[in-house]
């Protein structure tokens, strides 16, 4: 439990003192592969020496994973438990599966106590249902935009939102009472919903903004965008960094180079993103541990000069800026559209009244022109 180890907030302070951010390496490896990765010569020593942490994605709770956590505990390496559902159930949490979140946490807490293993924090990954994402990115130009607009139009009818928000908030209270710090991994567009003062995007995407201790915005530059060479150039980090408590960066996919959709960031791009993220936060999640081990990047990261300059690609930053401006305008209209129309109606009525008064003249009657 967090009460028996330093909290991440204490680690934040220590990171600032050492003038570099706290790095948490996320892994989705199964228990056997995780143990082999951790036993790679020098890995545990480097993690412990640099004060790095490990975030374990936990679709299953078994004795082998507990042994991996115990190994990290023994070396004083901080561990964050990233709760998730089995892949066949959709993996991430959202409005549609919120009843499963409490069950998942209850099973985790019982497992951690039975195995006598300790975690600094518990994390929830909040993402839209996989089938919804598939529907929103079909082939064809502008089809995805139309799909998103349709979801936004129907968003207010999403009756799951209030119940899910209340349930997740209650779950966070329970986690706090159990002594855990709570982190949430969120899509960066959650910041646009906050800025506009709406929950429209949340309802449209079946996600929910939660009162976590640390809100982590997922801002990987490794995205399947052919015109950008699958590298958004740090644009998400530069655009959303000020809105984040922490940032998640790194390669997309499940860490397996042979897996479909795996898009590894070259070292130069990962270095750029690390330096950019460090401008905004002292807690950075990196995906993934196995990718960094396989490519020998841990030692490179340890020797990184955190004072070195880094800039996002201009083209990517311009694209994200335009998209965010358009999204903010859409959310603003959705929030204030009826009020704006009502006020415009009153303004039009006032203008017509003033014009009528002017035409009637000072005597109150209609003015007439007398011809000589």
pLDDT tens column, 281-302:
999 999 999 999 999 999 999 9
* List of residues 6+ apart from 342 with CB closer than 8 A: none
Sorting pLDDT into bands at 50, 70 and 90, what band is 372?
A: very low
Q: What is the DSSP string of 233-273?
A: TTHHHHHHGGG-SEEEEE-BSSS-TTSTT-BPPPHHHHHHH
- Is the pLDDT assigned to residue 18 strictly greater than 70? no
Burial of 314 (0-12, 13-18, 19+ CB in 10 A): exposed
* DSSP SS3 for 227: helix
Q: How many C-beta atoms surround the C-beta of residue 307 within 10 A?
A: 9
Output the pTM of the full model. 0.83
**Which of residues 345 and 239 earns the better pLDDT score?**
239
Q: Note whether 68 and 38 are within 8 A (CB).
A: yes
Q: How far apart are CA 194 and CA 192, in angstroms?
A: 5
- pLDDT single digits (tens) 194-247: 999 999 999 989 999 999 999 999 999 998 888 888 899 999 999 999 999 999
Burial environment of residue 67 by CB neighbours within 10 A (0 to 12, 13 to 18, 19 or more): middle
The pLDDT of residue 86: 92
């Amino acid at each position: 439990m967090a009460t028996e180890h330093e909290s991440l907030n204490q680690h934040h302070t220590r990171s600032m003192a050492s003038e570099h951010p706290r790095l948490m390496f996320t892994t989705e490896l199964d228990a056997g592969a995780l143990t082999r990765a951790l036993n790679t010569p020098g890995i545990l020593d480097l993690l412990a020496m640099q004060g790095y942490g490990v975030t374990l994605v936990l679709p299953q709770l078994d004795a082998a994973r507990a042994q991996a956590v115990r190994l990290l505990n023994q070396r004083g390496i901080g561990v964050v438990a990233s709760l998730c559902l089995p892949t066949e159930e959709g993996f991430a949490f959202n409005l549609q599966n919120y009843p499963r979140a409490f069950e998942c946490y209850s099973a985790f807490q019982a497992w951690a106590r039975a195995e006598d293993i300790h975690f600094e924090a518990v994390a929830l990954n909040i993402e839209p249902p996989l089938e919804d994402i598939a529907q929103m990115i079909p082939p064809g130009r502008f089809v995805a935009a139309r799909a998103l607009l349709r979801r936004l139009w129907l968003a207010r009818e999403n009756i799951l939102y209030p119940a899910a928000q209340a349930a997740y908030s209650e779950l966070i209270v329970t986690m706090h009472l159990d002594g855990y710090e709570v982190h949430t991994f969120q899509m960066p567009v959650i910041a646009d919903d906050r800025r506009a003062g709406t929950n429209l995007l949340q309802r449209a995407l079946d996600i929910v903004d939660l009162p976590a201790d640390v809100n982590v915005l997922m801002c990987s530059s490794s995205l399947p965008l052919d015109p950008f060479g699958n590298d958004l150039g740090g644009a998400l980090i530069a655009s959303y960094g000020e809105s984040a408590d922490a940032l998640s960066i790194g390669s997309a996919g499940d860490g397996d180079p042979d897996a479909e959709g795996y898009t590894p960031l070259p070292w130069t791009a990962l270095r750029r993103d690390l330096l950019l993220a460090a401008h905004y936060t002292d807690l950075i999640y990196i995906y993934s541990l196995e990718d960094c081990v396989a490519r020998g990047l841990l030692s490179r990261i340890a020797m990184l000069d955190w004072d070195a300059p880094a800039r996002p690609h201009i083209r990517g930053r311009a694209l994200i800026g335009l998209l965010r401006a358009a999204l903010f305008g859409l959310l603003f209209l959705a929030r204030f559209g009826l009020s704006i129309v009502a006020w415009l109606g009153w303004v039009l009525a006032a203008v017509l009244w003033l014009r009528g008064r002017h035409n009637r003249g000072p005597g109150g009657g209609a003015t007439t022109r007398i011809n000589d």
